[in-house]
């Protein structure tokens, strides 16, 4: 079936790109057309008995197309929704296959291990019938929007961190500082950088009423459970690194709330537009994403779209961390730019890191270099085919797109190409989803300012 996927608009530097949305929708349509399809219900259980569900149909036989379809859907849900227990309600052969590969010895061992770290329980797969999958139960927490008082907001990225001093919703001080946390083995490195940034912001205000922060990774109860920022931290001192925000909260003795940077992206969009139903995506060192439903609630989903499949090309590049292919981080981040450099015939020094490589591409783009333009066009095609893919998992009306990859002329090309794909292939999505791009200042520090609005104070 993969051979039948023919996107109308090819990715200039990645002609083998096979959009997940086309495969998934073709599979479901084909299964229904046979008259033999059966229900498949997937349920992911996470902390406090919360459960997310996803319902679809499959062929009752465990053929190659069906197994590919189900496994990729499961992969998306594991990282999009999160959980430690997966209920597979449908044909037993399909459930058994998923249980085999999502195990300590299976192809998705990485995913199982990460979920175990995030939720504190061994990941398990329960094979059952569609009618026995638990009912959905999602968290309904209003997020942020508290603007009064003197607040500090910060955003931790892989290559830099941002801090803002905010008084009654207005940023009076913002600063970006480069750092390299992912190779640091001493938790004090992270603590001292964050603490120093907070003190610099505090010096600009008469007092500090609250602190809000955003960071890449999985954050539960103000602790980082999984994050590339802490990849080099030894296991024996990891709890010390994970609890850095609780340490800071104790020292400052003010309300402090930490949230995944993707969710803060969605919050930033909601605050700037005054609208809910927001999916936010930040294309930075990786792909960060967050979701606020149409009622203005955060559902407690992981929204780690950096690990979700967007490309079903069997020859797609593999992610160095998870080992999986075709996942978001390699399509919507600095990693995507780096991946496309050889095809664009742009040569950069081997020792140059990703942020510097992006800067060089941006310089070429500013000079009108057609090779650089092709990189952005390719990312635009990726985005155009992935937005409707996200629509199949999230109910949103607005999409906020920001991050370093979207700055400058290249960012304009990304959005233009994405809109071209939507108009030609997904007209309904084009009319249903409004894409928003903040101005240059908001792109770079907007998350820090939004993060400042997270804590609720007594004043």
Residue from 171, 142, 217, 150 nearest 450 by CA: 171
Q: Is the pLDDT at 362 greater than 70, yes or no?
A: yes
Q: CA 319 from chain center: how many Å?
A: 15
Contacts of 418 (CB under 8 A, 6+ apart): 380, 381, 383, 384, 387, 435
What are the pLDDT digits (tens) for 419-430? 999 999 999 999
* Residues forming CATH 3.30.420.40 domain(s) in the chain: 139-459
SS (H, E, C) 135-182: CCECCCEECCCCCCCEEEEEEECCCEEEEEEEECCEEEEEEEEECCHH
Average confidence score pLDDT of the chain: 91
- Residue 49 CB coordination number (10 Å): 8
pLDDT tens track for 12-64: 999 999 999 999 999 999 999 999 999 999 999 998 889 999 999 999 999 99
pLDDT tens for 365-386 read 999 999 999 999 999 999 999 9
Cα 207 to Cα 360: distance, rounded to the nearest angstrom: 41
Residues 333 and 159: their CA atoms lie apart, in Å, by 12
pLDDT tens digits for range 108-162: 999 999 999 888 899 999 999 999 999 999 876 666 678 899 999 998 988 889 9
Apex CA 113: angle with CA 110 and CA 118, to 5°?
125
pLDDT surpassing 80 at residue 183: yes
Q: CA 411, CA 444: separation in Å to the nearest integer?
A: 13
Query: Thinking of the domain 139-459, which architecture would CATH place it in?
Result: 2-Layer Sandwich (3.30)
Per the CB < 8 A criterion, the answer to whether 128 and 99 are in contact is no
C-alpha angle with apex 418: 367 to 328, nearest 5 degrees?
A: 95
This prediction has a pTM of 0.85
């Amino acid at each position: 079936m993969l051979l039948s996927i023919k996107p109308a608009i090819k990715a200039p530097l990645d002609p083998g790109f096979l959009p997940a949305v086309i495969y998934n929708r073709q599979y479901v349509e084909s299964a229904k057309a046979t008259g033999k399809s059966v229900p498949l219900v997937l349920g992911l259980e996470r902390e406090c008995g919360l459960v997310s569900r996803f319902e679809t149909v499959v062929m009752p036989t465990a053929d190659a197309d069906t197994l590919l379809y189900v496994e990729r859907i499961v992969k998306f849900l594991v990282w999009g929704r999160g959980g430690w227990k997966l209920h597979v309600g449908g044909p037993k052969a399909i459930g058994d296959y998923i249980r085999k590969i999502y195990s300590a010895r299976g192809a998705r061992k990485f995913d199982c291990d990460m979920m175990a770290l995030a939720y504190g329980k061994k990941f398990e797969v329960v094979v059952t019938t569609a009618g026995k999958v638990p009912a959905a139960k999602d968290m309904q927490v209003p997020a942020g929007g508290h603007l009064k008082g003197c607040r500090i907001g910060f955003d931790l990225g892989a290559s830099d961190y941002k801090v803002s001093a905010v008084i009654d919703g207005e940023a009076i001080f913002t600063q970006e500082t480069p750092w390299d946390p992912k190779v640091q083995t001493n938790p004090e490195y992270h603590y001292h950088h964050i603490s120093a940034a907070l003190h610099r912001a505090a010096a600009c205000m008469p007092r500090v009423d609250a602190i809000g922060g955003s960071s890449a990774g999985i954050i539960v109860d103000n602790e980082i459970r999984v994050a590339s920022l802490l990849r080099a931290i030894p296991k024996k001192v990891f709890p010390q690194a994970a609890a850095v925000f609780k340490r800071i909260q104790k020292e400052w003795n003010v309300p402090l709330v930490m949230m995944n940077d993707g969710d803060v992206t969605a919050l930033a969009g909601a605050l700037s537009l005054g609208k809910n139903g927001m999916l936010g995506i930040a294309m930075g060192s990786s792909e960060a994403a967050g979701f606020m439903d149409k009622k203005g609630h955060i559902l407690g989903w992981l929204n780690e779209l950096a690990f979700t499949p967007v490309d079903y090309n069997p020859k797609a590049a593999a992610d160095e961390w998870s080992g999986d292919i075709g996942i978001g981080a390699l399509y919507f981040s600095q990693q995507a730019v780096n991946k496309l450099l050889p095809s664009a015939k742009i040569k950069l020094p081997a020792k140059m890191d990703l942020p510097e490589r992006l800067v060089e591409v941006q310089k070429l783009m500013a000079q009108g270099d057609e090779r650089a333009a092709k990189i952005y066009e390719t990312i635009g095609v990726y985005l155009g085919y992935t937005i409707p893919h996200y629509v199949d998992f999230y109910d949103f009306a607005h999409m906020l797109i920001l991050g370093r990859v979207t700055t400058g002329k290249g960012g304009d090309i990304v959005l233009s190409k994405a809109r071209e794909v939507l108009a030609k292939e997904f007209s309904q999505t084009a009319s249903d989803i409004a894409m928003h791009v903040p101005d240059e200042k908001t792109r770079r520090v907007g998350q820090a300012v939004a993060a400042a609005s997270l804590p609720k104070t007594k004043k």
